Amino acid sequence: MTDNTASTGTEATGSAVPDGAERAPRRLRADARRNIDSLLEAATTTFATSGVDAPAKQIADLAGVGVGTLYRHFPQRSDLVKAVFQREVDACADAAPELAAANESGVALEKWLHRYTEFLATKQGLASALHSGDPAFAALPDYFMQRLGPALGSLLDAARANGEICDDISAKDLLYAVSKLCMPMSGEGAAHSRRMVALLVDGLRHGTGGSRPAS
């Protein structure tokens, strides 16, 4: 995939639209939606193992589609990187209410923080692109905080209300604290990050009379 590949307006809409005319939003066909989902899944896997500069054919082959289909949906490499990142952020955010519905508040918070830890571990392949200074990625830090801040905030509020954690930390501080703990270290893998986050959770409970639930 090259960054100067672009689709035409007729490719995107399927027909020309006169100047000044309103274009109604077009619902994706089921097969197009499946192709996009397959491409995003394949790109997520490929970026994690081969980096964001992996060949387009490698991604398309893994998705079971042609390279032309990849270019049609994601004309620029940055389009694909952004879509992968946003998809994974959304999945992490959406896990918060699911965990809250299935667990006690303190357990839901701990499980979500470990889910967030896994998200960070699998996003290392995107880090260089996201911090490259490319204007295409300028909005992603705000997207990250707008989605994950409220998700974590709701879990923190519930745990505070039940007296399960201390009340002097914000969602933003905790998101950044976990991300720092998950920064790659020489000779250490994902298991080390999980241990560090477990210690952080214990610290949140310190002074409340709480303790980590038995595994």
* Tens of pLDDT, residues 93-120: 999 999 999 999 999 999 999 999 888 8
pLDDT band per the 50, 70, 90 thresholds, residue 172: very high
State whether 159 and 70 are in the same domain.
Answer: no
Residue 184's CATH number: 1.10.357.10
Look at residue 139 and tell me whether its pLDDT is greater than 70: yes
Closest CA to 97 of 84, 111, 83: 111
Query: Which whole number is the average pLDDT over 180-192?
Result: 69
Of 42, 59, 75, which marks where a domain is finished? Answer: 75
- Cα–Cα distance for residue pair 134/136, rounded to 1 Å: 5
**Mean pLDDT over each residue of the chain, to the nearest integer:** 81
Asked whether residue 1 is domain-assigned, the answer is: no
Number of domains making up the chain: 2
Query: Which whole number is the average pLDDT over 59-73?
Result: 96
State whether 193 and 175 are in the same domain.
Answer: yes
Asked whether residue 20 is domain-assigned, the answer is: no
State whether 90 and 180 are in the same domain.
Answer: yes
Query: Which whole number is the average pLDDT over 112-139?
Result: 82
Start-to-end CA span in the chain (Å): 45
